[in-house]
Amino acid sequence: MRGLNQVTLLGNIGGDVNLQTKSVSVAKFSLATTEKYKETETTEWHNVVCFGRLAETVSEYCRKGDRLLVQGRIHYNTHEQEDGTKRYYTDIIADEVIFLNSRGEQTTKKEVRNDSEDIPF
């Protein structure tokens, strides 16, 4: 039996989308999710990565503060720096993004899915 790696996040974009176009388009952005428990509110920041047509669409339509529903999977990565220390990264690889307006109403809803051949790994 295969494992399950699935994430669903509802939050707001923390900054403009960074689009890189090489052999495959790659869009990166941060997504803030907020939880409230009793009187305490906690915000978590997630690094989201989109590939291919999904990356291009997200880059074209999404701006800082926009509300999104992102479905995808967790991807862990390490990178060794020049001084030999390792940096660890956790990204959400988006498979589907649903655009909501900034107030979370679905009046401007737009749904975009990723084609599996767009993801390089």
Angle at 63 between CA 59 and CA 65, to 5 degrees: 145
CA 85 to chain centre: 26
Per-residue pLDDT at 107 = 43
Q: Please list the residues that pair with 73 across neighbouring strands.
A: 93
Whole-angstrom Cα distance, residue 82 to residue 21? 26
User: 80: domain range?
Assistant: 7-33+43-116
Residue 51 lies in a domain: yes
Residue 1 inside a domain? The answer is no
Residue 19 belongs to a domain = yes
> What pLDDT score was predicted for residue 101?
72
Provide the terminal-to-terminal Cα distance of the chain, rounded to the nearest Å. Answer: 21
Would you say residue 2 lies in a domain? no
At residue 106, the pLDDT reads 46
Which pLDDT does position 4 carry in this prediction?
Answer: 92
The count of domains in the chain is 1
What's residue 96's pLDDT? 95
pTM attached to this predicted model = 0.80
Torsion of CA 43, 19, 110, 114, to 10 degrees: -100
Q: Is residue 77 part of a domain?
A: yes
Please, what are the averages of pLDDT over each run of 10 residues along the chain (121 residues)?
89 95 94 93 96 95 94 95 93 95 51 62 53
Alpha-carbon separation of residue 88 from 9, 72, 81, 114 (angstroms)? 21, 19, 11, 25
CATH assignment of the domain containing 72: 2.40.50.140
